[in-house]
Structure 1
Amino acid sequence: MDMVSEMVERVRIGHANGRLVKRSGAWGMGYTAFAGSGFHIVLSGGCWLVTSDGPATELTTGTVVLTPTGAAHGLSHAPCALDDLPPGVMGPEPEPSEPVDVEILCGAYRLEHGPERLFVAGLPDVIVVPPDHDRYPELRTVVDLLRADVSGTQPGSSASRRALLDLVLVHGLRQWLEQNRAPGLLNVTDPSIAAALHAIHADLGRRWTVQQLSQVAGLSRAAFTRRFTALVGRPPMAYLTEQRLTYAGRLLRETTAPLAAIAGEVGYATEFAFAAAFRRAFGVSPGRFRRPPAAAAGVVATDADAEAPVPSRRIAP
């Protein structure tokens, strides 16, 4: 699995939403670290990105800021210290009556239960993607669609918004990766390990063993384990469990399938075994994880977090 696909798979288990922020004069918004991922897109005007380390970064119209790990950061009309920024407003705001200096489209995937961070090994905590509409027109198109979506209340906005947020993340990461081929990112080209990864994702429910995966890779068990861990960042069985439970989280959120069916789908012999593994990873039972939160404190969104479940169906990993 490539890095972009894995990133999107991970964030999908969080609650997704977006909103428009419009500011004039002297202003600032600080965002504390949270479990999830987010982004900001400067639609018009300019501002400064403030982080806990390093100097502030000037953002111009069209710049995309990605926060894959949900790291603390802030936005401001001028350079400043992160601790000096007031907390970002996390609710509806009245439409300004006067012209504004800057307009920013903000999106977030927030996980109220589970790992401390949703991340892929090798990604920076904060990524700045400069505008390049000539080479990457798709990103601007998706941003325009998301802007229209969060500005209105059309039927089906919950479904379309999640899809558009996914696409912003995909195209933003693609552009950054093409411009920054940093080492350590999960974009495995080793044919042996790539074969094992493909086998895992093609059949998450299979009772895989390290020996079976090493045979798929055409390596000895010891050589396979060493190479897999070095390239992917965790041992084979840890990666398999992680992928199974991430996929299970999506099934819990996006379908009405019974827990027993989901357990079998992701390779657990019993519902009890699945529930125990899920609780260890997410700190909450599968049933509680499936129920939408009454209110997701600190979410960047202004719309309702809950989404109606869709009929049970298989979702390709």
Structure 2
Amino acid sequence: MDMISEVIGTVRAGNAYARRITESGSWGARYPSFAGVGFHLVLGGTGWLVLRGGESIALHPGDVVLVPYGTEHGLSHTPCALGTLPVASMGPEPPRPGPSDFEFLCGAYRLDNGKVHQFLRALPDVIAISPDYDRHPQLRSLAALLGDDVSEPRPGDEATRSALVDLTLVHALRHWQEQSGDEAWPRITDPGIAAALRAIHDAPDGRWTVQRLSEIAGMSRTTFVRRFTDLLGKPPATYLTGWRLTLGARLLRETSAPLAAIARQVGYSTEFAFANAFRREYGVSPGRFRQNMRVAAASR
């Protein structure tokens, strides 16, 4: 099991956003910090990525800016101090008509009631990537699809937007891993731990215990807990709970299934037990979380 698939599975608990933005003349915007993961993909023109601490990085067509856990940053026509830039408007505004000096796609998963995956938090706070499009042309195709998807409202927008933002994030992370080396993004190469993870992901409603998972891994309970914690950063029982609640959050966002049905699907015997665990993890009740997601989706 690889960590890119792991983290993409967790961010789907939030709402996906994307828009195309055009700028001309003297322009600049500061993107405040937020809970989630986002990206900018440069379609045309040149500009500058502005970071905290005063550093600025030149951006060219095809470049991708990846923000793994929502760190504040800016984009501008010239190098500058981040604090001098006005706060970006994040509403669903259409791009300005006519020719532009700089054009880019902005996409994100916002996790206002969730937590950014620990492996995303282990990455640099802002990453500038220059993909090799000759070797990997898929990102160019994704940019065209996402640009078309945000050009006007259409039936099925919520499904297509999530899928395209997912794919863009996956390819951006792949390119960064390729440019940084395999050690930059951990992989679960231990076959026993990988087998236990597959079991959890394939059947989150299973009657899992640490002992049962250690048997699937082919290890003693003590060895399994130690290796699992070393590789995943948390004990097996904590990981299992987190994954069940992440899946529950996705079902609350994506479906209208009753709370009791979702509770059973993710391994809780009662709606009450699921609701209590969910509130501890996300800080709100499942019903409030679903309502918040619907309000956020309607305001995109």
TM range, smaller chain: over 0.9
Contact 1:3–1:185 at 8 Å: present in 2 too?
Answer: yes
Q: SS where residue 168 of structure 1 aligns?
A: helix
Sort the Cα spacing of 1:281 and 1:159 in 2 relative to 1 into closer, same or farther, 3 A. same
What does the per-residue CA deviation read over 1:219-246, in whole Å, with 9 as the maximum and x for residues that have no partner?
A: 1111111111111111111111111110
Shift of 1:50: 1.5
1:78 aligns with 2:88: no
Q: What residue identity is the alignment partner of 2:4?
A: V
1:36 corresponds to: 36
2:150 corresponds to: 150
What's the RMSD between the two structures over aligned residues?
A: 2.0
1:65 corresponds to: 65
TM-score by length of 1: 0.88
CA distance in 1 between partners of 2:94 and 2:250 (Å): 34
Contact 2:40–2:106 at 8 Å: present in 1 too?
Answer: yes
CA distance in 2 between partners of 1:112 and 1:49 (Å): 25
Q: SS where residue 52 of structure 1 aligns?
A: coil
Once structures 1 and 2 are overlaid, which stretch shifts more, 138-147 or 210-219? 210-219
Q: What residue identity is the alignment partner of 1:281?
A: E
CA distance in 2 between partners of 1:97 and 1:32 (Å): 26
TM-score by length of 2: 0.93
2:101 corresponds to: 101
1:281 corresponds to: 281
Contact 2:64–2:128 at 8 Å: present in 1 too?
Answer: yes
What does the per-residue CA deviation read over 1:99-120, in whole Å, with 9 as the maximum and x for residues that have no partner?
A: 21100110111123233x3453
Contact 1:184–1:231 at 8 Å: present in 2 too?
Answer: no
- Structure 2 unaligned spans of 5+: none
CA distance in 2 between partners of 1:281 and 1:269 (Å): 18
What does the per-residue CA deviation read over 1:47-75, in whole Å, with 9 as the maximum and x for residues that have no partner?
A: 11122246211111001111121111111
Percent of aligned pairs with the same residue? 56
CA distance in 1 between partners of 2:186 and 2:257 (Å): 31
- Structure 1 unaligned spans of 5+: 297-302, 307-317
Once structures 1 and 2 are overlaid, which stretch shifts more, 138-147 or 202-211? 202-211
Shift of 1:182: 5.0
CA distance in 2 between partners of 1:190 and 1:219 (Å): 11
CA distance in 2 between partners of 1:94 and 1:225 (Å): 51
2:190 corresponds to: 190
1:88 corresponds to: 88
1:238 corresponds to: 238
Contact 1:31–1:87 at 8 Å: present in 2 too?
Answer: yes
What does the per-residue CA deviation read over 1:77-134, in whole Å, with 9 as the maximum and x for residues that have no partner?
A: 111222221101123546535521100110111123233x345353332222213211
Q: SS where residue 104 of structure 1 aligns?
A: strand
1:48 aligns with 2:52: no
Q: What residue identity is the alignment partner of 1:9?
A: G
Shift of 1:271: 0.9
Q: What residue identity is the alignment partner of 1:170?
A: V
